[in-house]
Structure 1
Amino acid sequence: MQHGAQGQRSALQTLYELWTLLCIVEPPQITEKPEVIRVTVGDPVSLDCKVTGSPELKVRWTKDGRELQSIRQHKLSFENNVSSLKIQSAQREDEGHYVFETHGANSNFFLIVVLVTEQVIPPSFIKPLVDMQEVLGSFVQICCKISGSLPISVEWQKDKSKISSGVKHKLIQQDNAVSIEIEQLELSDAGSYSCKLTNAAGKNAPTMIGHVIPAHKVSISLTWSPSFSSEPPSFVTLPKSQVALPNTTVRFKGSFQGTPPFMVKWFKDDTELMTGPTCFTGLEGSSCFLELYSVGVTHSGIYSCQVSNDAGSVRCTADLTVKG
């Protein structure tokens, strides 16, 4: 009887493990695929397919029925569930029917290479954007897939104001993808973002919007995360702009409120300042300060202080003029 009971428990355990395995295994599925792409000869091309599923997925790319291998002309990669096919310099022979496959799921699409001698292909967007709802203090990336003859000039705007690359915003352009990255979202980052493209085909460049097809812009709205029970920082007193004589010490100081702990950074013209022989940055309770030693004309510029905590960040600026 005892052996019979043990055998029954063993069989039940095996059935349970099989049932658990079936519940965990997720069939492969293509969740994002590229569209038709038109490029001029010599332009780089990047095709990306995003897949989900388990266990470890096996993927492959074919062109006109023949499997592609990672060589100098075609680079294949598979990272973070994104399979990429990069063509370093598209040629006439690259025109054809490309297929991406993964465990029975397959995605068919065409890459059309157009040879243009007197006229270039105007820029266009091949991947629509959608409006985004993000959490204060988080990181966000807005990415556009584009097509057209290179070089393509890219301009990002927020509420119709041009965005420049700096500490707050990072602008990226690689192959046929452009993106903007925003660090530590704060309330002032909410709004409407747009991407404008221009090339030699003319100035009638399209603009990407997220909620219309074809889309022209993307709106970011910010919310509180349930884990963010703290109050974001805000300045109570701001550092004052100053005029100083050469070889003197300059001190900027401001105070703020919010929920600690805080992280304070000082910048000069978007370059972060670190404590050293020429300056000292400090934090005293809810006050932040910056001391500059033996200032000269080169120290003139715009200084900014950024205070951050788990709930968000805030920044203020002050000018320094050192007399010559």
Structure 2
Amino acid sequence: MKDGKLIWASYQYNVKTTNFSSTLEVLNSDRREAAGKYSCEISNSEGTDICHAMVKIEPVRFIYELKDTTFRLGQPLSLYCAYSASPRVYVSWRKDGKPIWASYKYNVKTTDNACVLEVLNSDRLEAAGRYSCEISNSENTAICYAQVTLEPVRFVRKLEDMTFRVGQPLKLQVTYTGSQLIYVSWTKDGKPIWASYKYNVKKTDNSCVLEILNSDREEAAGRYSCEISNASSSAICHAHVTLEPVRFVKKLEDTSYCLDDPLSLTCTYTGSQQVHVTWKKDGKPISASNKYHFKTTDSLCALEVLNRQDAAGLYCCQVSNAGGSAICDAYVINKTTKKGITSMTHLPNPHSPTWPYVLF
């Protein structure tokens, strides 16, 4: 029986029965009317028995749903879903709640178990939105969604803190990725900067270089920021640019001398110009005079002691620029020889009160 009515072998059904089994072949399974409640009743002289089965059309269900995705303007964009169901399956698409169909904006490809929506206007911002795919047959419906957004911008290489020397080329560079159009803006110490006699900006689809044209001046130092943005997001990075501080490459060294020998102290350094050099002896500033002669270059300073009678003492050299300062010192010792015995007078070391001693 089907739905309470007797059925028998015909163009719609075929029945195969043995001593212990019976099979009903439904020949019109290509039509919806094959669905229903089937019953099988068996009987003999002793009694009867019956069993039932509900036959339904296979409902639609998604095997692979739409996935949220990002896209770049001008690059191919397609949405894919796969499903399982009894035919005939109807597929419909929507964007932001409004029906869409094959047109100059969209192309739809549908098979018995899959559907692809090709977004043809992916070169425009309006391609972004909330897409939905609905599938249905005579049994039920199912729906899935995907949010399509522009690929957000992000830095691949950010700005990094750096030092520079006055007068030497200075550039800041970032690289990034994301959907076009990408806008780049720069600030220094919180104030916008742009191409001018102080700055030059070079931009490509994935990088930007800021050339600082006034790097011959100390004002080039500061906190620089680069902000990138597109229609979906923004990102920012920062870098502190400072003058290269001075540091000693070769410091002063303790020296002993004889009265008849020349006496000079030399040290070398590196750092951004302008470097200022000052000398002290026993804590007191000294300057060019009949006692001292100075020689200073971009990387070296030398002190020639002309009056060697009272040259012994603690000498100190300090170098400084706008980025920092450094200091070094050395003892100068008077060495005389009498009868093969060396006389050495060590001047007090301010860092070691127990240092002074005299040998005769």
Q: TM-score, normalised by structure 2?
A: 0.29
Which structure dedicates a bigger proportion of its chain to helix? Answer: 1
Larger Rg: 2
